[in-house]
Amino acid sequence: MYFIGRFLGNFTFSEPLYLWALLLIAPIFFLWLLIVVLGLFSRPEQTYGSKYPIIGKIKLWGVFALASTILMVIALARPAVSGSEIKPTNGDVQVIVLFDNSFSMKADDIKPSRLEIARREILSIDSFMREGDRVGLFIFGKESHIKLNLTSDFGTFFDQVSRAGLSGSLSDETIFDTDFATAFEHIYQSLDRQDAFLEGKEYNQRYNPKKRTNRIVLVFSDGEDQFFNSKPKNEAEAKLRADYVKKYDKVMAEYKKRGLKIYPVGIGTRTGVSWLFLLKGYKKGTYPPELDKEWIGQVTRLDRDRLSSLAKTTGADLLGYDWTVENSQGNARQYLGHVLDSNRRPLFEFVAGDNDRQFWQYCLLAAIGFLALGIVTYPFQGYLRNE
């Protein structure tokens, strides 16, 4: 309705006096309609095996002739759209930001740390957000936590990002592991609950999620997934890993079902740093004691393969853009701008133009088209009839 209102509001006529002729056409139309109705009631009764013709005495060509006349009158009035052009434009986008705050993000192989670089990159999307966009924030380590549901309040979102940091104490094992399957599962389930609520569904009502083209997930992470990278030492661990892979595949299938594409922003270096180096500055007893042995020779590094797999599985295209930040001078802003704009919902709007756009030619062409339809639909025997 808004689009139609804008269109009609910019509509002008160079010769508006011709429009008075439409007042003469109105009584002709009603007279024609009366004749058609009377003709229907005066038809002879149907006999066995007979049927009324589709057209017969009801000359459908009259409708086309009337429409043609109206369009010709409008063409004479020379209509135009003043000062505007109808052009395609990009609409809104819904962005879910997934901020990795697991322990590996403390690594300073990229100064000052992976966590701070990730925060900087998230804050940079402020310049790409537009009115009507919505953004949400999830923080994750082994599990994900909602910090902010989808909202148009950009100020609150960026404030939450600025405050986010490593959560939990070192005795909390969830900060040492990254579980992508559980984190991404939590995200789509949370979005489903929010969508269901906005559509007026009760909490216990079944909800069928819709496939969307303008909702994406941005992941700011080093890609470390200990469950994928683990090497099982026994049958029980092998089963746990197999179950994890099965869960991961199921979650990715749910993302494809909803049209949710995952776009990663990789933070870190490919050489990485020792896991034990991250424990420097912490007293023994403040973290699980087994880590001193488990992390010997272990390195945390940027896992491009894991992150690109997330994109490929959900249909996100990473070609042609640098989507990793591997030094403090680098950034992913060009990539982020492309991702947001390419996933906006397409719309049409009026854009200011220098000249009036004439429409009378289109009205004349439409009038000729209706006239041709009237000739084609007129009963053929009518042309051969001798009055």
Mean pLDDT confidence for 38-45: 70
Structure confidence at residue 11 as a pLDDT band (50, 70, 90): low
pLDDT in tens, 242-274: 999 999 999 999 999 999 999 999 999 999 999
Do the beta carbons of residue 373 and residue 64 sit within 8 Å? yes
Tokens of 287: 């973290």
Looking at the whole model, is its pTM more than 0.95? Answer: no
Mean pLDDT confidence for 275-281: 85
Integer Cα distance of 290 and 294 in angstroms: 6
Q: Where are the alpha helices (DSSP H) in 225-275?
A: 226-229, 235-258
Structure confidence at residue 83 as a pLDDT band (50, 70, 90): low
- Phi, psi torsion values for 82, nearest 5 degrees: -85, 125
- Residue 158, C-beta contacts closer than 8 angstroms, at least 6 positions apart: 123, 126
- Kindly give the pairing relationship between strand 273-274 and strand 299-300: antiparallel
- Per-residue confidence (pLDDT) for residue 43, from 0 to 100: 67
pLDDT in tens, 308-365: 999 999 999 998 889 999 999 999 999 999 999 999 987 655 554 555 677 778 888 8
- Per-residue confidence (pLDDT) for residue 140, from 0 to 100: 83
Integer Cα distance of 226 and 181 in angstroms: 11
Q: Domain segments of the chain: what residues?
A: 2-83+354-384, 92-344
Integer Cα distance of 164 and 160 in angstroms: 6
Do the beta carbons of residue 124 and residue 336 sit within 8 Å? yes
- Per-residue confidence (pLDDT) for residue 59, from 0 to 100: 57
Is the predicted pLDDT of residue 241 greater than 80, yes or no? yes
State which fold the 92-344 domain adopts: Rossmann fold (3.40.50)
- The residue that leads in pLDDT, 284 or 161, is 161
Tokens of 48: 């066995």
The answer to whether the peptide bond before residue 112 is cis (omega within 30 degrees of 0) is yes
- Per-residue confidence (pLDDT) for residue 334, from 0 to 100: 95
The answer to whether the peptide bond before residue 88 is cis (omega within 30 degrees of 0) is no
- Kindly give the pairing relationship between strand 215-221 and strand 261-267: parallel
Is the predicted pLDDT of residue 166 greater than 80, yes or no? no
Reduced DSSP (H G I as helix, E B as strand, rest coil) percent helix, strand, coil of the chain, to 5: 45, 15, 35
- Per-residue confidence (pLDDT) for residue 259, from 0 to 100: 95
- Per-residue confidence (pLDDT) for residue 300, from 0 to 100: 92
Alpha-carbon torsion 114, 120, 123, 128, what sign? negative
| Average pLDDT of the chain to the nearest whole number | 82
Of 7-11, 20-24, 171-175, 218-222, least confident by mean pLDDT is: 171-175
pLDDT exceeding 90 applies to what percent of the chain?
Answer: 42
Mean pLDDT confidence for 279-304: 84
Structure confidence at residue 381 as a pLDDT band (50, 70, 90): very low
- The residue that leads in pLDDT, 153 or 171, is 153
Among candidates 344, 346, 340, 345, which has minimal Cα distance to 87? 346
Q: How many whole angstroms from its chain centre is CA 35? A: 53
Cα–Cα distances in Å, from 12 out to 17, 217, 299, 367? Answer: 12, 45, 71, 19
Is the predicted pLDDT of residue 216 greater than 60, yes or no? yes
Mean pLDDT confidence for 190-198: 92
Among candidates 140, 180, 186, 176, which has minimal Cα distance to 310? 180
- The residue that leads in pLDDT, 56 or 299, is 299
- Phi, psi torsion values for 146, nearest 5 degrees: -75, 125
Instruction: List the 79-81 sheet strands across, edge first.
Output: 11-13, 79-81, 357-358
